[in-house]
Every structure is written in C-alpha cells, then in structure tokens.
Amino acid sequence: MLSSARSPRPAHAAAHRTATAWPDPALVVTHVDTTDPVAFITIDDGWNHDPAAQKPLLDRQVPASLFLLPGAYSYDPEYFHTLLDHGRSRAENHTVDHPDLTTLDAAGQKAEICGARDQDLAEFGDSPLLMRPPYGAYDDTTRTTARACGVEAVVTWTYDLTTWTNPVLVPRLKPGDIVLLHFNGTVEQDLRRVLDAAAAAGLKPAPLRDHIGG
C-alpha cells in the first residue's frame, strides 16, 4: 500500500500558494487618461529649499505632487511642512536613497520603498499613495513590492522639463500630461514656465493623487 508520505505535494502547488499571498502589482502611470483640461506637476528629490519656489505654489495654490527623499527634507522639514500645510501639495514616495530599483532584489526594494513610506508618515503624518522610482527605472518586483508598501501607482512622467544646463523647450501640453521638475536651483523658474505653458494650453494643474490614487 502506498504511503501518503511518499506522495509529497508538488512544488508548483506550494509556489502558487505563496504567490497568491502577494498583492496585485501597482499601476504604472506615465500619462493620465482624461479629457478634463488638467495637467499634473510633480517635483522630485527636495535638496534645494529656495523660498522663491514656495511662492507660486502657495500664492496660486498649485496642487503639486512632491516625490521627496527623506535625506533631503530631514535637514529642513519646515520648508515642506509649509507647502503641505498651507498649500495644496502632497508628499509622495521617492525611496530612501534614490537607487536604481532594478538593481535590487525584493528585500532591497522593500527596504527602500517601505522605508521611505515609514519616514514620510512619521514626518508628515500621511502615508504616500504614489511612488516615483528613481530614474524612472522599475521592474515587476518594483510594482509588486510597491503595492505591498501601500503604493497605489508607480508614477513616471510624460515630460521632464527640469533645467539642468539649458532650459528645456516646453511642448504644448495635453490633458493628462505629467510634468517632472526637481527641487534644484532653477525650480522656481521651471515652475513658472510650466504654469505658463499649462495656461497657454487651456489646462489647470490638478492633484495627481485624486486622479489615480485615493
């Protein structure tokens, strides 16, 4: 008589059971599918804390998604508290150390994404729902890990309009476009150029989280 001990469960069954314990991958969003006359302003990193950059965001109550690095906001958190508490900006996840996530295994990606979530929550009292992978680099592990860390969407961009050396020519923006800027030395000028371009196209800045998150 055959013993049940000689009939182990197939390995693929255990693997399947383990896989179903993971959440569905986070969405990847480069452009929002909408006919509403809106565009989305996102600003990364947070190393430059120029008060001049606060002025258009606060005076005009521009909704912006701030994908911040903990190390960048930790030495002057009040700069960002001002934007979040008195404006319409939201803080979102940009990892802890700005690595190329595709070079990390699942544990390394979890440390970066969940670690940033925990630090953002502790500092700002709000858990990020969006995550921008550094350099726009992500893989399937990123999407699954991001979801496990509470992220609803992995957000890249339609246009990078950051001025690094020479100003980038601003294209005619379309509804749903996501614009990438950085908190660098030209962020105030870049922000005003993008706001002017949006107005010229008949678009208004809108909260990204409201259109693709909770």
Q: pLDDT tens, 12-67?
A: 333 343 444 567 999 999 999 999 999 999 999 999 999 999 999 999 999 999 99
106 vs 57: CA distance, rounded Å = 36
Note whether 93 and 53 are within 8 A (CB). no
**Residue 26 belongs to some domain of the structure:** no
Q: Give the pLDDT of residue 38.
A: 99
How far, CA to CA in Å, does 193 sit from each of 8, 33, 150, 169, 177? 65, 24, 33, 10, 15
**Residue 6 belongs to some domain of the structure:** no
**Residue 16 belongs to some domain of the structure:** no
What's the first-to-final CA gap in the chain, in angstroms? 58
Note whether 89 and 66 are within 8 A (CB). yes
**Residue 143 belongs to some domain of the structure:** yes
Please name the amino acid found at residue 52: A
117 vs 96: CA distance, rounded Å = 9
- State yes or no: pLDDT of 7 exceeds 90: no
- State yes or no: pLDDT of 6 exceeds 50: no
**Residue 18 belongs to some domain of the structure:** no
Q: How many domains, the chain?
A: 1
Please name the amino acid found at residue 192: R
pLDDT band of 213, cuts 50, 70, 90 = low
Q: Give the pLDDT of residue 169.
A: 86
- State yes or no: pLDDT of 135 exceeds 80: yes
**Residue 1 belongs to some domain of the structure:** no
Which is higher by pLDDT, 124 or 11?
A: 124
Determine whether 108 is exposed, middle or buried from the number of CB atoms within 10 Å of its CB (0-12, 13-18, 19+): middle
CATH of the domain at 197: 3.20.20.370
**Residue 151 belongs to some domain of the structure:** yes
pLDDT band of 81, cuts 50, 70, 90 = very high
Mean pLDDT to the nearest integer, 187-203: 96
Q: Domain residues for 199?
A: 31-212
**Residue 5 belongs to some domain of the structure:** no
Determine whether 27 is exposed, middle or buried from the number of CB atoms within 10 Å of its CB (0-12, 13-18, 19+): middle
Closest among 199, 200, 164, 162 to 179, alpha carbons compared: 162
